[in-house]
Amino acid sequence: MAAKRRSKIWDVDRNEATPESIYLNRRRFLKSVGAIGGAVAINGLGCKPAEEAKEDPTESPAPTNEIPPKQPKEIDLPKTPTSDLYPAKRTEAFSLDRPLTDEVVAATHNNFYEFTTAKDRVWELVSSLKIRPWTVDVAGLVNKPQRFDVDDLIRKMPLEERLYRFRCVETWAMAVPWTGFPLRELIKLVDPKSNAKYIRFTSFNRPDEVTTQRFGSFRWPYYEGLSMKEANNDLAMLVTGIYGHELPTQHGAPIRLIVPWKYGFKSIKSIERIEFVENQPGTFWNDLQPLEYSFHANVEPTVPHPRWSQADEWLIPDRSDSRPTQLYNGYEKQVAKLYG
């Protein structure tokens, strides 16, 4: 289904028909799920496959007047100063072994813990985050540190579209057309010093805009890291678009990382700071759950998560559409050399 620029955020089937009291009640429920999910994660139940989540007795039961998730008919997109750059030319070398995921399916099944732990609710909650103006600081062990206005950066970079597989640590997978530029193009621009061995990425912490960031369960902002070798690999992208247009906020607007050979939690969204450092930096999930989420977090079918197998994956939205997980998510040829 195509995305459209529209004045209203989402065109929703059932909203008009929903009595306001029920709607407000559901909103409150969403808030409590966010808070409970956060507390649960810290106690050892962070990212997890959905079926496990459903069986988890520590999760709050739905109120009796709960209604099923709303389904948007189409995706609303921000008009940005760089809208004219999409669609970018597709690089045909990145082909897929599976169909592309439907755009609305991908945009309504998201992990974005700053807003909620409920994947099917993220899209409803993200509009409070102001994605323009937006700056990205690139700093640390570089000869040319810079603060970029995100649109200046996007305009400066060689945008291209690539079809990538995407594999979440929770076993769901998708295949989407990302638009962006190789991370190494940004690395060149800031000229790293010889002792820069790692890159640390930091997302936003804006409790005034994203009120769920006020709750104490997680310590924001979300942060991630790569070695310089990984960051310079051709597959590592900074992504600003999807399906031939800008990223909607739930996918990490205005700029996010995509490292398709790693579990999805490495692909940090809505980046504000990129810092070159000498030592391996901490990462959000590894610091919370070191025994469950490693720094490298490469997709490896023979290495189970301590609480579930990684041998198979399933394609959203159909849990029965299951297939074997591929080493490095099928990108062995491109990345195995990094870990030899």
Residues lying near ligand MTE in the complex (CB under 6 A) are found at: 47, 110-114, 168, 203, 222, 251-252, 264-265, 267-270
The amino acid at residue 243 is Y
Q: How far apart are the first and last CA of the chain?
A: 42
**Alpha-carbon distance 21 to 246, whole Å?**
35
Which residue lies nearer to ligand MTE by CB, 86 or 265? 265
Asked if residue 326 lies in contact with residue 96, where contact means CB atoms within 8 angstroms, the answer is no
> In the complex, what is the shortest distance from the CB of residue 64 to ligand MTE, in angstroms, rounded to a whole number?
30
**Alpha-carbon distance 257 to 85, whole Å?**
19
**Alpha-carbon distance 67 to 14, whole Å?**
10
The amino acid at residue 91 is T
Dihedral (CA of 196, 251, 134, 28) sign:
negative
Which residue lies nearer to ligand MTE by CB, 18 or 322? 322
> In the complex, what is the shortest distance from the CB of residue 54 to ligand MTE, in angstroms, rounded to a whole number?
18
> In the complex, what is the shortest distance from the CB of residue 123 to ligand MTE, in angstroms, rounded to a whole number?
9
Q: What pairs with residue 271 in β-bridges?
A: 203
Which residue lies nearer to ligand MTE by CB, 80 or 111? 111
Which residue lies nearer to ligand MTE by CB, 192 or 204? 204
Q: In Å, how far from its chain's centre is CA 285? A: 13
> In the complex, what is the shortest distance from the CB of residue 255 to ligand MTE, in angstroms, rounded to a whole number?
11
The amino acid at residue 153 is L
Which residue lies nearer to ligand MTE by CB, 278 or 287? 287
> In the complex, what is the shortest distance from the CB of residue 101 to ligand MTE, in angstroms, rounded to a whole number?
9
> In the complex, what is the shortest distance from the CB of residue 63 to ligand MTE, in angstroms, rounded to a whole number?
25
What residue number has its CB nearest to ligand MTE?
264
Which residue lies nearer to ligand MTE by CB, 240 or 270? 270
The amino acid at residue 42 is I
